[in-house]
Structure 1
Amino acid sequence: MKNILAGPRVTLAVPQPEDFDEISDWYTAGEFLRNLDTAPARPLSGEELEQTYRNIDRNTEFYFHVRSQEDDRLLGFITLYNIEWSNQIAQLAIAIGDPSDRGQGYGTEALNLILNYGFNELNLYKVCLDVIATNHSAIAVYQNSGFEFEGTNKLAVKRDGERYDLYSMGLFAEDFQPRIKLD
């Protein structure tokens, strides 16, 4: 039986307690935080991050750590959350932590793995996400994976005294075409 959580280069894995200290280091980088979320940037300790993970609603959120197949190194995290089972819809969030790991295809592979999991294992109909208009690299990855723009929350995000749009994007199960080889 195939491992639906493993691709050619990354695995979607169970979070390990020691991972959260590394993720905490990512939370000290302003660029990481400001692209991840619209909330104010705030560093979090490994303990706080682990506690947040322990408190997620396991009925409506599927949270994984993205690990390298080559050396089992932590690359990031990805989650399907706010799942509305009656509507078969979920929100998606993804982050690749170390800047040197971005632009290497890890995010695209992890995204395709979680979409395959969501559509074919969880039987979701649609996956949605929000992305800040200035996060051009993430937008390109989402579009390359089949997401389409569905709306704009005009000037919804304020950064450094400037206002930016927040895009809503979505992908339907019937439109999902994996961009990686899924075994």
Structure 2
Amino acid sequence: MKNIFNGPRVYLSVPQPEDFDEISDWYADGDFVRKMDTSIARPLSGEDLERTYRNLDRDTEIYLHVRTIAEDRLIGFVTLYNIEWQNQLAQLALAIGDPDDRGQGYGTEALNLMLNYGFNELNLFKVCLDVIATNQAAIAVYQNSGFEFEGTNRLAVKRDGHRIDLHHMALFAENFQPRINLK
């Protein structure tokens, strides 16, 4: 039987307590935080992040870490949240922490592992996400994985005195075509 959490170069894992100190380094990078989320950028300690993880609603959120297979190195996280089981819907968030690990295909692989899990294990019908319009790298990854634009919350995000659109994107289970070799 195949391991649905393993891809060719990364795997999805349960967070370990020692992971959160490393993730807190990512949150000290204002560019990382400002591209990932629409809320204010602020550093978070490992303790803050671990406390947040411990307090997740396990019925409506699945949060996993992304690790490289070769070095067993933490490189990101991916989550399905606001899961509406009755409607078979979920929101998705994905982040690759270190800038040197971005643009290497790790995000695409982690995204496709989580989508495969969501559609084929959790029986989701649709996965949605929000992405800031200036985050072109993320938009390209999402489009490459089959996500389509569903709408735009115009001028919803304020960054450096400028207003930026927030795009809503979605992928239906019937349109999911894995972009990686699922083992």
TM (norm. structure 2) is 1.00
1:145-156 → structure 2 map (5 Å cutoff): 145-156=145-156
Equivalent residue letter for 1:78: V
- Identity of aligned pairs, percent? 78
Question: Which residue in 1 is equivalent to 2:119?
Answer: 119
Quote the offset at 1:59 in angstroms.
0.5
Are residues 1:70 and 2:70 paired? yes
Question: Which residue in 2 is equivalent to 1:131?
Answer: 131
**Separation in 2 of the partners of 1:72 and 1:154?**
40
Quote the offset at 1:130 in angstroms.
0.1
Q: Residue 23 of structure 1: SS of its match in structure 2?
A: helix
Q: Deviations over 1:125-166 (max 9, x none)?
A: 000000000000000000000000000000000000000000
Question: Which residue in 2 is equivalent to 1:6?
Answer: 6
Equivalent residue letter for 1:62: I
Question: Which residue in 2 is equivalent to 1:49?
Answer: 49
**Separation in 2 of the partners of 1:12 and 1:81?**
16
Question: Which residue in 2 is equivalent to 1:59?
Answer: 59
Equivalent residue letter for 2:48: E
What is the Cα-based RMSD across aligned positions, in Å? Answer: 0.3
Question: Which residue in 2 is equivalent to 1:104?
Answer: 104
Q: Any runs of at least 4 consecutive aligned residues in structure 1 with deviations exceeding 2 A, and if so which?
A: none
Are residues 1:18 and 2:18 paired? yes
Equivalent residue letter for 1:33: V
Count of aligned residue pairs for this structure pair: 183
**Separation in 1 of the partners of 2:126 and 2:182?**
20
Question: Which residue in 2 is equivalent to 1:31?
Answer: 31
Question: Which residue in 2 is equivalent to 1:171?
Answer: 171
Q: Residue 150 of structure 2: SS of its match in structure 1?
A: strand
Equivalent residue letter for 1:41: A
Q: Residue 2 of structure 1: SS of its match in structure 2?
A: coil
Quote the offset at 1:8 in angstroms.
0.3
